Amino acid sequence: MAKTYQFLNDVADLKDKVLKAISPIAPITDQTKAEDKFLFNAQRTDTGRSLPEYYLCYFLLVELLGFKNLGQFEKISWSVPIDFNGVAFLIEHRKFGVGVFAHDAKSQECEAKEIVKRIHKGVKLARPYFEWLAQEAAKESKLNVKNHHRRLFEKLQYFLERYRELSREAKERAEERIITKHEGGNTSIHMPNFELRRNAEWLALSAIDSFFSWTEHVFTHCATLNGRAVTGEDVADLADNEWANKFKAAIDINKRTAKEFYDQLVVVKRQLRNYMAHGAFGKNSEACSFHSGAGAVPLLLPHQKGTSRFSFYGDLGFNEEDVIAFIERFILFFWAEEREPAKLYIESDLPLILTMAKDGSYASAMKSVDEMEQLVEHLSWEFDRAANMDW
């Protein structure tokens, strides 16, 4: 079992092991052979493209082993010169990816291959250190949280649109009968409305499931923008929590309208989404019936299900039109009023930067749409600049 490194002073022995594993890779010295203007003329090697992820290379060489980082240059995020058997090479993260760079890429491809092999070996050995770094970062706010709103919401919109299309077609063809005469004099009657209604119901269930997936995501983002989750541990705890707790972290349910939406959505989640997620058996044996003098009786009696209009008894039938209309009303409610600035940020596709949650930058921007627009514009520019490595 790999050793867990809890404190910085425990890393010394790991550093020694990694240095031995990657030898003859070593920090550059005055004795390292380097051609004139090597830093400016170094060529990317083909093999160097198969290095581990850029951040693992950086953590290994700079953070753990203490190799010198030459810093940022035009289209270069970081640059680490190394000595390999007395010859200078560069490990750099450039606009088109991390790589090994040599004076003459073609003739030094074999050396580059050995460098890549040893870097992979070092990264594997240094895994406990990377895990320690991640744990330490999670305790603070030095994290970004990915924003998957667009993909999740587009999935929801797809199912909603398909549901509307089939529902509309089912109504238009409600009276349609397709009569087919077969050999032997038999006649069959097909009513397209039944199949269309069934398919629409399936799409409604998919839309409901997508709705709860989307809300779990945006509720967590909203809670961060509101300052209720400001560290990696806060976000992880909220992400692992129940949907109801995410709702309360994003929306103040002390307000009557919010409480009404909350109460009804809890019913939808319990009676429809959770029921289907448990193989149409449910958590409370909804699919079971007990024997009696009256015949088979549902184990979960009607009075145990509450008075919600979303209830269904003994089968998978439900009024999907009501449920879909309800969740569409909730979406409009959710993006309105004090959460309108959050909508602007979340729809920008920007990740959540927890340092900005902790220092109050998000809370300040949440005060108005104008302030959030300025923040989004600034951050979008910064992210574009970083992506292009325009330092």
Q: Say what percent of the chain tops pLDDT 70.
A: 87
At residue 298, the pLDDT reads 63
The neighbour count for residue 98, using CB atoms within 10 Å, is 22
Q: Is the pTM of this model over 0.85?
A: no
At residue 233, the pLDDT reads 87
Task: Answer yes or no: are the C-beta atoms of 144 and 231 closer than 8 Å.
Answer: no
- Give backbone dihedrals phi and psi of 206, rounded to 5 degrees, phi first: -65, -40
Mean pLDDT of the 333-359 span: 94
At residue 140, the pLDDT reads 76
At residue 350, the pLDDT reads 94
Render the burial of 254-283: b for 16+ CB within 10 Å, e for the rest: eeeebeebbebbebbbbbbbbbbeeeeebe
| Measured distance CA(22)–CA(92) in Å, rounded | 17
Mean pLDDT of the 20-39 span: 91
Given a cut of 80, is residue 325 above it in pLDDT?
yes
Domain boundaries defined on the chain: 8-139, 144-387
At residue 274, the pLDDT reads 60
SS (H, E, C) the chain: CCCCCCCHHHCHHHHHHHHHHHCCEEECCCCCECCCCHHHHCEECCHHHHCCCHHHHHHHHHHHCCCCCCCCECCEEEEEEEEECCEEEEEEEECCEEEEEECCCCCCHHHHHHHHHHHHHHHHHCHHHHHHHHHHHHHCCCCEECCCHHHHHHHHHHHHHHHHHHHHHHHHCCCCCEEEECCCCCEEEECHHHHHHHHHHHHHHHHHHHHHHHHHHHHHHHHHHCCCCCCHHHHHHHHHCCHHHHHHHHCCCCCHHHHHHHHHHHHHHHHHHHHHHCCCCCCCCCCCEECCCCCCEECCCHHHHCCCCCCCCCCCCCCHHHHHHHHHHHHHHHCCHHHHHHHHHHCCCCCEEHHHHHCCHHHHHCCCHHHHHHHHHHHHHHHHHHHCCCC
Mean pLDDT of the 165-186 span: 87
Given a cut of 50, is residue 304 above it in pLDDT?
no
Given a cut of 70, is residue 307 above it in pLDDT?
no
| Measured distance CA(27)–CA(249) in Å, rounded | 49
- Choose between 72 and 53: higher pLDDT: 53
At 213-225, the pLDDT tens digits run 999 999 999 999 9
Mean pLDDT of the 246-263 span: 94
pLDDT band at 374 (very low <50, low <70, confident <90, very high): very high
Mean pLDDT of the 240-265 span: 94
